[in-house]
Amino acid sequence: MVHPSVPLPSMTALRVMLAIAERGSTTAAAESINLSQSAVSKQLLTLEDLLGAQVFTRKPSGMVPTELGRIYLEQAQVAMKAMEEAAFRAARLQSDSHTLRLKVLPILGDRWLLPRFSDFNQKHPDIDVRYTTFSTDNPAAQPDAVFRFGRGPFPGEDPIYLFGKDVRLVCSPAYLARLGPLETIEDAARGIIIEHPGTPLHWADLVNGYGKPDLEPQGVMRFDYYTLVLRAAISGQGMALVPPQLIEDELRAGSLVNPGGIRYASKAAYWFSTPADRKPTLALKAFQRWLMKQVEEPVVAT
């Protein structure tokens, strides 16, 4: 218990102090926390009066915390984080929330999710879905669910399998015409394989699945972006290993084909993962139901 005689700064004063320490002046701090410069100065003066000493030293280079200021800044950071966490957890108790925060992988969003998303919007116009591709330490901005690619398990999460275990070797008809007949894994080894170094969708996985781990392709082309892997395959620069759900339009149009039906079963896949310790909101439940119906849609046969 805190003794009643111990002076305690207000949360507004703590926010002001943190902003000044970060920005170096009351003017810049005011802009960052949407207060007037005079309000920030008043909060600082009130805080220093309460503590009986200066919190910052005014220098030409900016405002620098005093020894007392450093003590309060350290604890202010802890206090603000605790309050953000409390507000976050309290908001999550509102199971009727109409805001849904989702972290999505760029390739999955671009190639599979967003082309379908208008259907969800039409069916649930009251749900505000907010997408992000970034992680954050701010509890109030943590996503309600995450689209992941990997093998799992994902500690502390309840993942739902979407797709990705079926991986196919694909190329453009023009590339296939240049390469010649491609019916076997040995035929495929005469060509160029296009890969993303950061995913497990590699030639080694394909040939291991056929029991021929020593079989090497003629060459390997690597791109740091998976969208470029697909673009290179579509433009006839080689062959790529891709879950068919990411290239449905190309398979349907014939700009990519799966020669010889060559494919393998991947241990990595796409998942929709939710926190195991958090009660899902009505918005999240609605999205999950819609999402599973999308997964049940048939993929173009090749």
Q: What is the pLDDT of residues 141-157, one digit of tens each?
A: 678 999 999 988 899 99
Q: For residue 270, give the nearest of 121, 133, 163 by alpha carbon.
A: 163
Query: Does residue 255 surpass a pLDDT of 50?
Result: yes
* Mean pLDDT of the 255-277 span: 95
Topology at the third CATH level for domain 99-164+269-295: D-Maltodextrin-Binding Protein; domain 2 (3.40.190)
Cβ atoms of 151 and 267 closer than 8 Å: yes
Instruction: Quote the tokens at residue 187.
Output: 């035929």
What tokens were used for 3? 């003794």
Tell me how far CA of residue 20 lies from CA of 61, 69, 137, 180, 254, in angstroms. Answer: 13, 11, 21, 68, 59
Position 6 scores a pLDDT of 59
Residue 100 CA to residue 112 CA, distance in Å, equals 19
Question: Is residue 237's pLDDT more than 50?
Answer: yes
- In the chain, % of residues over pLDDT 90: 57
pLDDT at 91: 56
Q: Cα dist. 118→114, 186, 245, 288 in Å?
A: 8, 43, 18, 15
Q: Give percent of the chain with pLDDT exceeding 70.
A: 88
CA distances from 10 to 5, 45, 80 (A): 15, 13, 11
Higher pLDDT among residues 200 and 146, named by residue: 146
11-92 CATH:
1.10.10.10
Q: Where are the domains of the chain?
A: 11-92, 99-164+269-295, 166-265
- The reported pLDDT for the residue numbered 195 is 95
When comparing pLDDT for 224 and 301, which is higher?
Answer: 224
pTM over 0.75: no
Question: Tens of pLDDT along 68-101?
Answer: 888 888 888 887 777 766 655 655 555 456 889 9
Average pLDDT of the chain, as a whole number: 88
Common-topology check for domains 11-92 and 166-265:
no
Band of pLDDT at residue 252, cut at 50, 70 and 90:
very high
Picking from 273, 209, 284, 271, the residue whose alpha carbon sits closest to that of residue 241 is 209
DSSP string, the chain: ---TTS----HHHHHHHHHHHHHSSHHHHHHHTT--HHHHHHHHHHHHHHHTS-SEEEETTEEEE-HHHHHHHHHHHHHHHHHHHHHHHHHHT-TT--EEEEE--HHHIIIIIHHHHHHHHHH-TT-EEEEESS--S-GGG--SEEEEEES---TTEEEEEEE-SEEEEEB-HHHHHHH----SHHHHTTSEEEE-TTSS--HHHHHHHTT-TT---SEEEE-SSHHHHHHHHHTTS-EEEE-GGGGHHHHHHTSSB-GGG-EEE-S-EEEEEEETTSPPPHHHHHHHHHHHHHHTSPPPP-
Residue 2: predicted pLDDT:
47
Q: Is the pLDDT of residue 184 over 80?
A: yes
Q: What interhelical angle do 67-92 and 11-23 show, nearest 10?
A: 120
Going by CATH, does the domain composed of 166-265 fall within 3.40.50.150?
no
One-letter amino acid at 52 equals G
